[in-house]
Amino acid sequence: MTTSSSIFALLKIAGQFVPYVNIAETLIEEGYTFGHQMQKFAAEQDITLAEWSDARTQNKITLDDEIAKLGGTVPSTIVAPVEPSQPPDPYTGEYSALEFARNAGKLAGKPGDRIYSIPNGKFKLVYGGAGGNVPTTWTLVETIGG
């Protein structure tokens, strides 16, 4: 793996790793490019690729995470639980647009759970559970698109 591709492999995790994104912002204010930031941070922290890979299991830092971190109170976005008529694909978590439209706004969720639109016309549910395991329950908090 080349140096630049190694760096980019680390960059891909940027949004999921709190210390990095905070440090990145500071460095941007200091006039560093993002690539420079990554090099600088990796050098300062002596962090390994494996350690960054572990960070993949952490949830992406959301706006509400940041509000909570700053001491604010995040409004609940949980809606009433309803069983879906069909579960999403148990492996990919993808949920057809039809099923999404049928259930939009009616599924149980908890802060931190997200639904992602993906280019093939489906929606991908991302669970709050750690480690990417197939969840025993699935949730939806925010409705987008549909």
Partner 1 sequence: MKRVSVLAVLALLLVSSCGTNLGMVDTKSLMTTTTAVATPQQAQKLLAEAEAARVAVRDSIARSFVTAQQNLTSAPQDQSAIKLMNAAITARTAFNKVDPQFTAAWQVAADAVDTWTRAPSDQNAAVTFNAMYASVRKSLTDLSAAQTGGVQ
Determine, following the binding rule CB under 8 A, whether residue 118 of this chain makes contact with partner 1.
yes
HSE-up of residue 113 (Cα within 13 Å, Cβ side): 22
How big is the site for partner 1, counted in residues (CB under 8 A)? 42
Q: Determine if 62 is a binding residue for partner 1 (CB under 8 A).
A: yes
Task: State the DSSP H helix or E strand holding residue 124, giving kind and residue range, or none if neither.
Answer: strand 123-126
- Of 1-9, 47-55, 97-105, 129-137, the window that binds partner 1 (rule: CB under 8 A) is 1-9
Q: What is the chain's percent helix, strand, coil content, to nearest 5?
A: 40, 5, 50
Which residue, 70 or 80, has its beta carbon nearer to partner 1?
A: 70
Contact between 128 and 103 (Cβ < 8 Å): no
Using CB under 8 A, which residues numbered 20 to 59 contact partner 1?
Answer: 21, 24-25, 28, 33-35, 37-38
Residue 125 sits in the site that holds partner 1 (CB under 8 A): no
Answer yes or no whether residue 15 interacts with partner 1 by CB under 8 A.
Answer: yes
CA distance 35 to 104: 39
Strand-by-strand arrangement of the 123-126 sheet:
94-95, 123-126, 114-117
Q: Which of 31, 90, 119, 131 binds partner 1 (CB under 8 A)?
A: 119
- In whole angstroms, the minimum distance from the beta carbon of 140 to partner 1 comes to 11
Return the bridge partners of 6, or none: none
Contact 33, 107 (CB under 8 A): no
Chain residues binding partner 1 by CB under 8 A are: 2, 4-5, 7-9, 11-12, 14-15, 21, 24-25, 28, 33-35, 37-38, 60-64, 66-67, 69-73, 75, 114-119, 124, 142, 144-145
